[in-house]
């Protein structure tokens, strides 16, 4: 009786063009689990089911592998956000809400948020990696948020604010929520509900930015001379 053919090929016999994606997926897992310094290329190759030599066919070293992980996941998400914002015709209020919620769905609540923790913890020891991350992720994300704020101000939807510092104020609570998930979650008996947190955050943020409509009896009315009834 002839031997049965296996239904699936071993990992190392898969199409070569699938290997970079498998390596990037394995690298993302290990960078998030262990951090940048402790992630080893041997372990990335083993988790992807290839030899270390095969990994070097695609990525020169750990830094280049990390950059590829960031570009594949975070930079591509930012590019999609830029495309969406550029073509948006709705209100700036809804655009800001959509951007923050989509970012949380795509990054904040996924393992990709572990990259932010990694950068906060280890960027001081790896300045070249930190510089790359700032240029390709942080700067682009900041530009998107500042652009939404400036759009809202120009259209009279948001009150005039310092957009550069407002951007930092907006980002900080989101970073805190990610850090809580990865670092402080076990210190709290009751977990933070990301949905409730974001609903409260957006309510405070958007209502705080909202431009006030002119009052019918505004300051000018206080200075009008009294009517002469004589």
73-100: per-residue pLDDT in tens?
Answer: 999 999 999 999 999 999 999 999 999 9
Half-sphere exposure of 61 (CA within 13 A, CB side): 3
Asked if 23 contacts 65 with a C-beta cutoff of 8 angstroms, the reply is: yes
How many DSSP H helices and E strands does the chain contain? Answer: 12, 0
Per-residue confidence (pLDDT) for residue 17, from 0 to 100: 56
Pairwise CA distance, residues 183 & 176, whole Å: 10
Pairwise CA distance, residues 12 & 9, whole Å: 8
High-pLDDT (> 70) share of the chain, %: 82
Pairwise CA distance, residues 165 & 161, whole Å: 9
Domains and CATH numbers, the chain: 13-59 (1.10.10.60), 63-209 (1.10.357.10)
High-pLDDT (> 90) share of the chain, %: 75
Whose tokens are 């950068």? That residue is: 119
Asked if 130 contacts 185 with a C-beta cutoff of 8 angstroms, the reply is: no
Q: Which residue has the higher pLDDT, 126 or 216?
A: 126
């Amino acid at each position: 009786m002839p031997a049965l053919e296996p239904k699936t090929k071993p990992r190392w016999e898969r199409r070569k063009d699938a290997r970079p994606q498998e390596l990037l997926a394995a690298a993302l897992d290990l960078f998030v689990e262990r951090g940048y310094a402790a992630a080893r290329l041997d372990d990335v190759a083993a988790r992807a089911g290839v030899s270390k030599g095969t990994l070097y066919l695609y990525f020169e070293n750990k830094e280049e592998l990390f950059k590829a992980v960031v570009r594949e996941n975070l930079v591509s998400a930012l590019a999609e956000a830029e495309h969406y914002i550029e073509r948006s015709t709705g209100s700036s209020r809804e655009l800001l809400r959509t951007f923050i919620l989509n970012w949380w769905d795509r990054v904040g609540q996924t393992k990709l948020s572990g990259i932010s923790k990694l950068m906060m913890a280890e960027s001081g020891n790896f300045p070249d990696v930190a510089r790359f991350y700032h240029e390709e992720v942080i700067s682009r994300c900041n530009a998107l948020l500042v652009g939404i704020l400036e759009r809202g101000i120009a259209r009279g939807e948001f009150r005039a604010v310092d957009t550069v510092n407002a951007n930092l104020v907006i980002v900080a609570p989101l970073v805190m929520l990610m850090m809580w998930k990865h670092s402080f979650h076990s210190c709290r008996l009751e977990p933070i509900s990301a949905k409730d947190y974001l609903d409260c955050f957006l309510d405070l943020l958007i209502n705080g930015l909202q431009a006030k409509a002119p009052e019918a009896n505004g300051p000018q009315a206080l200075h009008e001379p009294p009517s002469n009834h004589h």
